[in-house]
């Protein structure tokens, strides 16, 4: 069994070791060493990366059968004796977040009595699932404030091993199920949190720098709390600062006035939309008035037909038809040509003329089967059709009226 040196020392990054087994993982060369500082993916914490000789360590996993640590490599030609080098930036980021998680988890117990049930360390965000359905902003802030106080107090973080039997006598936050006589690795944040954990942690809480809750989300009966620590929290602050600076520049206002400015813009936008709707309605009504003299008698009704070809929407057609049918005994047969040609028929005559039936009978002229309606109004279309095709449909409908 290879010695896991990171258990007792998370800070050594360079070491010498001997290859004791050569194998493959997922078709990639992999080696087992007699001792290693490389952390394998376990307990919610991702693996280290780095170098073994000239080979890049791309993944580190634990073999289930015997607990051996497999270092996956980008090449197979590794000598029997190698020097290992661990990528510090990634390791330290994991140390900050893992230790930060211990502190935040304890802080939620201390402030709202909500224990942590799950932990995930992702490349972007880290999350804990805490056993509470909902928390107020003030409650989350209280936990965050306590967590950062522990960071600022720069408390020692001690790691030690005890037997399960000894561990069971201690006030441990989380103890995994283990066989009697097993050794338990304890992580002790002085006078604040004691828990069993196999990950890598900072030696003093001050190294975490900052613990920042960046979001919460309800997950079934739990609350998922997203957080960032140290360097990642600073990068996140930087990113948010740039967004804020862009917005204050675009809106020509201070950051304290941003929400008010956006709210004002939204209100103005709503008023402008309303004004625009009114103007559009008036314009269409005025346009409709121009057609007053274009009605022709067919039997005992007056009929108007027209093809619009200027991007009129079905709402526009409806508005025009509604205006023209304010007078009785009128039938309006109009359509729009283009990519989404439409027919719209409307009647203010009696029910002996059924607009739905009339429209269905002429839809084929514009290559559509989609449409229909009531006796007084019908519409259909949606496919591309030329002015000629729409005109043919309207003329056919008009002819059918006189039958
Ligand atoms: Zn831990």
pLDDT tens, 166-175?
999 999 998 8
pLDDT tens, 186-213?
999 999 999 999 999 999 999 999 999 9
What residue spans define the domains of the chain?
3-86, 91-239, 253-288, 291-401
Q: What is the pLDDT of residue 1?
A: 58
- The reported pTM is 0.75
Q: What is the pLDDT of residue 399?
A: 92
Residue 392 clears pLDDT 80, i.e. is over it: yes
pLDDT tens, 255-292?
999 999 999 999 999 999 999 989 988 888 888 889 98
The gap between the terminal CA atoms of the chain, to the nearest Å, is 97
Nearest to 347 by CA among 388, 295, 387: 295
- Using the mean position of ligand 1's atoms as its centre, give its distance from the Cα of residue 187 in Å: 7
Percent of the chain with pLDDT over 90: 83
Would 3-86 and 291-401 be classified into the same CATH topology? no
- Using the mean position of ligand 1's atoms as its centre, give its distance from the Cα of residue 96 in Å: 10
Q: What is the pLDDT of residue 389?
A: 94
Q: What is the pLDDT of residue 145?
A: 98
Query: Once rounded to an integer, what is the mean pLDDT over residues 372-398?
Result: 94
Which class in CATH covers the domain with range 291-401?
alpha beta
- Using the mean position of ligand 1's atoms as its centre, give its distance from the Cα of residue 229 in Å: 14
Around Cβ 247, how many Cβ atoms within 10 Å? 14
- Using the mean position of ligand 1's atoms as its centre, give its distance from the Cα of residue 43 in Å: 8
Residue 84 DSSP class: E
- Using the mean position of ligand 1's atoms as its centre, give its distance from the Cα of residue 106 in Å: 12
139 within 8 A of 111, measured Cβ to Cβ: yes
CATH, domain range 3-86: 2.40.30.130
pLDDT tens, 2-27?
788 888 899 999 999 999 999 999 99
Nearest to 343 by CA among 397, 303, 298, 302: 397
- Using the mean position of ligand 1's atoms as its centre, give its distance from the Cα of residue 162 in Å: 16
Residue 403: which pLDDT band, with cuts at 50, 70 and 90?
Answer: low
Residue 240: which pLDDT band, with cuts at 50, 70 and 90?
Answer: very high
21 within 8 A of 28, measured Cβ to Cβ: no
Which class in CATH covers the domain with range 91-239?
alpha beta
């Amino acid at each position: 069994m290879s010695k896991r040196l990171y258990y007792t020392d998370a800070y050594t990054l360079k070491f010498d070791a001997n290859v004791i087994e050569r194998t493959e993982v997922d078709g990639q060369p992999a080696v087992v060493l007699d001792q290693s500082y490389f952390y394998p993916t376990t307990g919610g914490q991702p693996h280290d990366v780095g170098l073994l000789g000239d080979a890049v360590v791309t993944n580190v996993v634990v073999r289930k059968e015997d607990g051996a640590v497999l270092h996956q490599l980008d090449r197979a030609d590794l000598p029997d004796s190698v020097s290992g080098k661990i990528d510090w930036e990634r390791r330290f980021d994991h140390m900050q977040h893992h230790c930060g998680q211990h502190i935040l988890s304890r802080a939620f117990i201390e402030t709202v009595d909500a224990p942590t049930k799950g932990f995930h360390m992702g490349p972007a965000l880290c999350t804990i699932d805490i056993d509470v359905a909902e928390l107020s902003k003030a409650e989350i802030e209280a936990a965050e404030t306590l967590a950062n106080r522990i960071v600022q107090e720069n408390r020692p973080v001690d790691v030690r091993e005890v037997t399960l039997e000894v561990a069971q006598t201690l006030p441990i936050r989380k103890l995994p199920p283990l066989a009697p006589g097993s050794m338990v690795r304890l992580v002790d944040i002085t006078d604040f949190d004691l828990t069993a954990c196999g990950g890598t942690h900072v030696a003093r809480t001050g190294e975490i720098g900052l613990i920042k809750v960046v979001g919460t989300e309800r997950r079934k009966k739990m609350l998922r709390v997203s957080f960032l620590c140290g360097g990642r929290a600073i990068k996140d602050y930087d990113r948010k600062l740039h967004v804020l600076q862009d917005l204050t520049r675009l809106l020509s206002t201070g950051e304290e006035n941003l929400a008010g400015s956006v709210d004002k813009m939204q209100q103005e936008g709503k008023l402008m939309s309303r004004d625009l709707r009114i103007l559009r309605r008036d314009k269409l009504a005025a346009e409709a008035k121009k057609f007053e003299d274009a009605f022709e008698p067919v039997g005992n009704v007056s009929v108007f037909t027209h093809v619009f070809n200027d991007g009129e929407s079905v709402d526009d057609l409806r508005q025009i038809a509604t205006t023209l049918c304010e007078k009785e005994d009128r039938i309006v047969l109009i359509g729009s040509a283009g990519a989404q040609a439409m027919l719209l028929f409307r009647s203010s005559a009696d029910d002996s003329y059924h607009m739905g039936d009339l429209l269905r009978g002429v839809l084929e002229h514009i290559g559509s089967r989609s449409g229909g309606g009531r006796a007084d109004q019908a519409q259909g279309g949606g496919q591309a059709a030329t002015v000629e095709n729409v005109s043919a449909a309207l003329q056919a409908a008009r002819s059918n009226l006189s039958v």
